[in-house]
């Protein structure tokens, strides 16, 4: 199967539908279109709606085992979700991305971290790849949300439907109203449901 995907990749961008078939045969996950060099892992724990498109060099994973520990992740991609190039989604608990969401390029969405800053001794003395996964909390992204290029969505985030996340933002907040969210760390710049000019954060 890896050989088939590699052969399709050599054909350039003309065969995204055929690449989606190859990914389905390998993982059991249905995508409408798949770009070159996909990395999709944890198929039994990933659910996709109709017409989900995956860009080039994307890494989508539901992590069931890491460093000797087992996890029971649920990664849910709604219908017509478009995931642009070089995006990484990593799930150990629950990540849900609603229908009609658009994810820009080089976006990271992860419901965990490698170690916790609450444990400074571990941060100092243990290599990141050897730290236990920590700060685990679900991520919910409402339907029709647009996430700009380079954004990072961290564990515990909840974004309301029809929101916009600015490019290169680092988001860890819970917001029940549609909003323009941007910054490092991200905050509500403006609510989008009634025209108010400023958030409460």
Q: Enumerate the domain spans of the chain.
A: 37-191
- Residue 100: predicted pLDDT: 98
Quote the pLDDT of residue 55.
96
Please report where in the chains the tokens 């990933």 appear, as a residue.
Answer: 46
Please count the CA atoms within 13 angstroms of the CA of 119 that sit on its side-chain side: 14
First vs last Cα of the chain: how many Å apart? 49
Please give the structure tokens belonging to residue 149: 């290029």
At residue 20, the pLDDT reads 87
pLDDT score recorded for residue 17:
83
Query: CA–CA separation, 82 vs 175, rounded Å?
Result: 22
For residue 28, the tally of other CB atoms under 10 A from its CB is 11
Would you write out the chain's pLDDT as a tens digit for each of its 201 residues? 565 555 555 554 457 888 888 888 888 899 999 999 999 999 899 999 999 999 999 999 999 999 889 999 999 999 999 999 999 999 999 999 999 999 999 999 999 999 888 888 888 898 988 889 999 999 999 999 999 999 999 999 999 999 999 999 999 999 999 999 999 999 999 999 975 555 444
User: What are the tokens at 184?
Assistant: 């490092």
* pLDDT at residue number 200: 46
For position 25, what pLDDT does the model report? 86
pTM (2 decimals)?
0.87
Superfamily for domain range 37-191: Hexapeptide repeat proteins (2.160.10.10)
Give residue 201's pLDDT.
42
């Amino acid at each position: 199967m890896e050989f088939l995907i590699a052969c399709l990749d050599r054909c350039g961008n003309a065969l995204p539908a055929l690449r989606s078939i190859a990914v389905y045969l390998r993982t059991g996950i249905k995508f409408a279109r798949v770009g070159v060099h996909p990395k999709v892992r944890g198929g039994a724990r990933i659910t996709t709606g109709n017409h989900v498109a995956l860009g080039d060099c994307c890494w989508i994973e539901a992590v069931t085992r890491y460093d000797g520990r087992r996890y029971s992740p649920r990664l849910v991609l709604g219908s017509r979700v478009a995931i642009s190039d070089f995006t990484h989604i990593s799930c150990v608990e629950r990540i849900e991305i609603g229908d009609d969401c658009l994810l820009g390029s080089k976006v990271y969405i992860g419901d965990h971290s490698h170690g916790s800053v609450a444990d400074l001794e571990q941060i100092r003395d243990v290599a990141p790849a050897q730290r236990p996964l920590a700060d685990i909390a679900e991520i919910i992204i409402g339907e029709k949300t647009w996430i700009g290029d380079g954004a990072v969505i961290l564990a515990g985030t909840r974004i309301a439907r029809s929101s916009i996340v600015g490019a290169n933002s680092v988001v860890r907040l819970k917001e029940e109203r549609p909003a323009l969210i941007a910054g490092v760390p991200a905050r509500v710049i403006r609510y989008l449901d009634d025209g108010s000019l400023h958030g409460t954060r």
